[in-house]
């Protein structure tokens, strides 16, 4: 009989939660959904959200239901019996004939207290991994994933890990069922770890948990950063070179000292007195930045819940058209330093053009519209280099033109006018650059020298 109490597997992204979830799902009595992220949502809006078609929207957001074969094609009849998140877990568990069901998500690190209040008898499996290893995996994934490649991932990781440890301690004191597992044990002592977790969940151990090569991974996103998992082998990923800079590695070692101290009863570090601590400024910086970025991410997530679906579908189609290269096109994601070495002449020319336009504009009538001239160096970069460099110059142009007007005419001496001019110019120029960037991808598709 399926338990009514859900199970949550939680750990920071790239900490091994996907591997553990895949291993546990090999047990026919365990049914864990993969990153539905139902609870990754602004807390004040949750009650309002569940009064609307949240299940249909979460399917639109990340295909959570179709990835788990709960809906097929345009047939959403299965959504009728899903009213609250636990209904979704139970539906998935019933289809498998499992005894326990739940979800794995790295986005629940700062929501453990919330989940425990919602489900007081829920079971929590928390994954711990050396933060240097985690961030190395993040950097590797960032080479092919836009999510992991975006700015602020280090602060997000630090904030999520800090919250996971703090909130795990809080819910344990409140009587929550918590099982901690080290990624090293998942890889190096898989059978013992599986037996311990099975006993914790109250289900019999199954030998199939050791055979990852037979696992059903259809619910996991088909992304390059999951390719190592799809090999079906339980082992550590090897790296040809160190991706984490020495300074960042030292910083993460300081955080590891803090986090091991916070989990001293479980981890039992050999040299407690020798554990390092993060510096005060870096601690407060990453905490504030990580919290702000996490809040921003949840606001973006809320947009997918309350904006009209017709708008969202059009936005997604437009984003796919602008961002994803057409079949056969090459759009290698490289560092801006590498771009500079490869396209130094184009970037130098665009810089000279931008400086010339700013000087001419400053010496002429500030009322004249120079937007077309400011767009020229940006367009050169969008067509020859990439949209990242073009966007950098768009930011410069969006600030420079209003500043020239502000400096040259008292009519523009208003913070509101200055801000409006900056924002409106940025939006117009960025739309143009994204379109030109897509044109560049189409050109790359037909150019044999880019293949």
Question: How far is 434 from 151, CA to CA, in rounded Å?
Answer: 19
Mean pLDDT by 10 residues, the chain (451 residues): 90 95 96 89 70 75 86 69 83 92 94 94 96 94 86 95 96 95 95 96 95 91 88 87 90 94 83 77 95 89 82 83 61 70 93 94 84 94 92 94 85 86 93 89 69 49
Task: Give tens-digit pLDDT for 57-98.
Answer: 888 888 888 898 887 766 666 666 777 788 889 988 998 999
Cα angle for residues 312, 316, 321 (degrees, 5° grid):
150
- What per-residue confidence (pLDDT) applies to 367? 77
Cβ atoms of residues 41 and 155 within 8 Å:
no
Rounded Cα distance between 387 and 393, Å, is 10
Say which DSSP state 341 is in: H
The reported pLDDT for the residue numbered 309 is: 83
Are 128 and 265 in contact by the 8 Å Cβ rule? The answer is no
389, two tokens? 């460099």
Among 111, 124, 147, 125, smallest CA distance to 37 is for: 111
Q: How far is Cα 290 from Cα 296, in angstroms, rounded to an integer?
A: 10
Instruction: With beta carbons less than 8 A apart as the criterion, state whether 418 and 402 touch.
Output: yes
- Please write down the HEC assignment for all residues of 374-403: HHHHHHHHHHHCCHHHHHHHHHHHHHHHHH
Q: What is the pLDDT of residue 252?
A: 95
pLDDT confidence of residue 327: 58
| The pLDDT of residue 330 | 46
Nearest of 428, 331, 319, 413 to residue 366 by alpha carbon: 413
Q: What DSSP letter does each residue of 223-288 carry, written as one string?
A: -GGGTTGGG---SPPP-SS--S-HHHHHHHHHHHHHHHHHTHHHH--S-STT-----HHHHHHHHH
Q: Give the count of beta carbons closer than 10 Å to the beta carbon of residue 182.
A: 17
> Can you list the pairs that 3-6 forms with residues at least 24 positions away whose Cβ atoms lie under 8 Å?
3/99, 3/100, 3/101, 3/202, 4/86, 4/90, 5/100, 5/119, 5/121, 5/122, 5/123, 6/86, 6/89, 6/101, 6/102, 6/103, 6/119, 6/122, 6/123
DSSP-assigned beta bridge partners for residue 103: 8, 33
**Which pLDDT belongs to residue 268?**
78
pLDDT at residue 201, as a whole number: 96
Residue whose entry in the numeric block shows the structure tokens 């990852």: 212
Tokens 């009650």 belong to residue:
47
**Reduced to 3 states, what is the DSSP secondary structure of residue 179?**
strand
What's the length of the chain?
451
CB 27 within 8 A of CB 54: no
Distance separating alpha carbons of residues 270 and 248, to the nearest angstrom: 23
Residue 233, classified by CB atoms within 10 Å of its CB into exposed (0-12), middle (13-18) or buried (19+), is: exposed
Radius of gyration, alpha carbons of the chain? 25
pLDDT of 52 reads 67
CB-based burial of residue 269 (10 Å sphere; 0-12 exposed, 13-18 middle, 19+ buried)? middle
């Amino acid at each position: 009989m399926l338990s009514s109490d859900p199970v949550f597997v939680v750990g920071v992204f790239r900490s091994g939660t996907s591997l553990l979830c895949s291993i546990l799902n090999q047990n026919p009595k365990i049914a864990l959904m993969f990153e539905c992220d139902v609870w990754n949502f602004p807390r004040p809006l949750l009650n309002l959200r569940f009064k609307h078609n949240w299940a249909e929207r979460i399917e639109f957001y990340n295909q959570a239901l179709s990835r788990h074969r709960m809906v097929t094609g345009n047939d959403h009849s299965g959504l009728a019996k899903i009213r609250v998140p636990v209904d979704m877990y139970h539906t998935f568990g019933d289809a498998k004939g499992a005894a326990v069901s739940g979800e794995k998500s790295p986005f629940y690190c700062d929501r453990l207290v919330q989940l425990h209040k919602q489900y007081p008898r829920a079971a929590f499996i928390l994954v711990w991994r050396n933060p240097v290893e985690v961030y190395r995996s993040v950097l590797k994934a960032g080479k092919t994933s836009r999510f992991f490649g975006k700015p602020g991932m280090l602060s997000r990781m630090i904030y999520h890990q800090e919250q996971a440890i703090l909130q795990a301690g809080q819910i344990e004191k409140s009587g929550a069922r918590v099982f901690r597992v080290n990624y090293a044990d998942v890889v190096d002592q898989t059978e013992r770890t599986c037996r311990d977790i099975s006993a914790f969940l109250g289900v019999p151990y199954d030998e199939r948990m050791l055979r990852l090569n037979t696992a059903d991974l259809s619910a996991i996103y088909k992304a390059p950063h999951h390719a190592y998992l799809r090999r079906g082998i339980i082992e550590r990923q090897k790296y040809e070179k160190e991706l984490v800079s020495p300074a960042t590695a030292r910083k993460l070692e300081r955080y590891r000292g803090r986090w091991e101290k916070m989990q001293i009863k479980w981890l039992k570090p050999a040299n407690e007195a020798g554990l390092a601590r993060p510096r005060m400024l870096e601690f407060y910086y990453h905490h504030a930045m990580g919290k702000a970025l996490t809040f921003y991410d949840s606001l973006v997530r809320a947009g997918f819940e309350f904006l009209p679906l017709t708008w969202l579908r059009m936005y997604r189609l437009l984003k796919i058209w602008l961002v994803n290269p057409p079949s056969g096109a090459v759009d290698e994601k490289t560092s801006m330093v590498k771009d500079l070495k490869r396209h130094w002449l184009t970037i130098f020319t665009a810089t000279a053009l931008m400086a010339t336009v700013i000087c001419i504009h400053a010496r002429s009538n500030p009322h004249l519209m120079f937007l077309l001239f400011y767009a020229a160096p940006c367009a050169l970069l969008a067509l020859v280099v990439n949209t990242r460099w073009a966007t950098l110059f768009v930011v410069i142009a969006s600030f420079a033109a209003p500043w020239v007007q502000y400096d040259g005419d008292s009519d523009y001496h208003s913070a509101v006018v200055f801000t409006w001019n900056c924002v409106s110019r940025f939006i117009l120029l960025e739309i143009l650059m994204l379109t030109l960037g897509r044109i560049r991808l189409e050109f790359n598709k037909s150019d044999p020298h880019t293949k």
